[in-house]
Amino acid sequence: MSTHPVSATHASDLKSKIEAKQSRVAIIGLGYVGLPLALLYAEQKFPVTGFDIDERKISTLAQGGSYIYRIPATEIQKARSGGFSATSDYSQIAKMDAIIICVPTPLNEYHEPDLSYITKTAEAIAPHLRAGQLVVLESTTYPGTTEEVLVPILENGNKKGLKAARSGSNNSEAFFVAFSPEREDPGNQTVARHDIPKVVGGLDPQASELAGALYGSIFKRVVPVSSPAAAEMTKLLENIYRCVNIALVNELKLLSLRMGLDIWEVIEAASTKPFGFHPFYPGPGLGGHCIPVDPFYLSWKAKEYDFRTRFIELAGEVNVAMPYHVLASVVAALNQRKKALNGSRVLILGVAYKKDIDDLRESPALTIIELLQKEGAQVSYNDPYFPMIGKGRKYDLQMKCAPLDKLGQYDCVLIVTDHSDYDYLKIVRESQLVIDTRNATKGIHDPKIVRC
């Protein structure tokens, strides 16, 4: 008879299945993080099932189509031919060996963490858990979420009285839990997905080992840390680092404008230093799911420890204010031409949160559109990745993409996202006024251009 606890036997069995690429992998949340991850596992011939509550996504995938621009339909079809499937039936969780949760973690209207997607997902899978399964959370969140929020729901919601394996426990019927932050970078064409190191923190050493094996099968490098909270904090540090540095150059841009200096020229010159400097670039505001959101997650959690993250909060204030700076720049530029913003026709170029992607999450363009509309401007937009903008969590614009064939009809063309598809020289030539928030018109010298 084996002297090892049954949980160790479960761990050994699961690790063997992972190494043989026979473990059944569930990916919950088939968005910008979950779908690429599912395709990586499918590429390595793992049996993969995607889960999502959006029936439109399930239907699109079932027909071999894609709803993410950078993922061609051929990738979906190839994965489906290898056994990849998608469903909204959470009872199928019982058949899975490893469950990876990739659901959104937005902020609510008060800039507080909204963990409803995590809690609802945990409640959906808890009744179907079985001993020996591995559950990994990837959603960006504050340190402590895995242990304080996810694990209790999974333990209290399953019908078998299962507990998560913990260090020092000798529970014979346990499941394993870890956190591994997503590191997707939409639009990045220089770093392959599998080349991005994967940070992993398990609730106990067995969970860490299993999560390391699971991710090590598709990523070239796994970086283990001591706990789920350490892994959660790692993700926040990465994005707060960017948030703070972007706030710094945004503030320096505002100062440079007053001083008559070109901040882009200054950054380019500073970038020639071969040590101690990494360039960050100003813009009309922060976008994407992580960088505008993560600092507020940590600031909120810090209050539990009677600690105020003043430096981080200040960076957030600077970045949140940038769309208002853009609004003021539009008003000033029109005023110089003896025009009022109220009644002026303004064309927004680019609404994605960064260039060459089809992602609207937290895009500053949406805020800028609403600010312009509130001031009475007649706002249109053009973006090659969005034929229309409908309704989201924080906006309801109901706008269709305008063509670029009559730029002269607009009082102002406002470059918010510098997509590579745009012919900026032609845009400047045909427009009455161009306001550039991204330095997209670098090298073009024309009095019609206002860089802000």
Task: Answer yes or no: 290 catalytic.
Answer: yes
pLDDT at 193: 84
Quick one: 49 and 136 in the same domain?
A: yes
- Quick check: is 1 in a domain? no
Q: CATH number of the domain that 21 lies in?
A: 3.40.50.720
Claim to verify: residue 44 and residue 129 sit in the same structural domain: yes
Q: Which of 99, 134, 92, 131 is nearest to 118 (CA)?
A: 99
| Residue 260: per-residue pLDDT | 96
381 is written with which tokens?
Answer: 């937009």
Beta-bridge mates of residue 175: 164
In a domain, 328, yes or no: yes
Query: Do 172 and 266 lie in a common domain?
Result: no
Residue 88 makes CB contacts below 8 A (sequence gap 6+) with: 51, 52, 53, 54, 55, 58
Q: What is the pLDDT of residue 394?
A: 75
- In this predicted model, what pLDDT tens digit does every residue of 288-322 receive, in sequence order? 766 678 888 899 999 999 999 999 999 989 999 99
**192 located within any domain:** yes
Which of these three, 291, 320, 349, is where a domain ends?
A: 320
Q: Which of 102, 243, 290, 452 is catalytic?
A: 290
If asked whether residues 56 and 124 sit together in one domain, one would say: yes
Same domain, 298 and 328: no
Whether residues 23 and 160 share a domain: the answer is yes
* Together in a domain, 73 and 218: yes
In a domain, residue 169? The reply is: yes
416 and 350, same domain (yes or no): yes
Check whether residue 53 and residue 117 sit in a common domain: yes
Residues with pLDDT less than 50, the chain:
1-4
Could you say which of 226, 250, 265 is where a domain stops?
226
List Cα–Cα distances, 198 to 128, 138, 214, 398, in angstroms. Answer: 27, 11, 11, 39
Q: What residues make up the domain containing 422?
A: 323-452
3-state class (DSSP) for residue 329: helix
Q: Are residues 102 and 202 in the same domain?
A: yes
Q: How much is the pLDDT for 9?
A: 84
Whether 277 is in a domain gets the answer yes
- Same-domain check for residues 258 and 286: yes
The domain boundary, picked from 198, 226, 254, lies at: 226
- Count of domains in the chain? 3
pTM of the entire predicted model = 0.91
Q: Domain check: are 219 and 235 in the same one? A: no
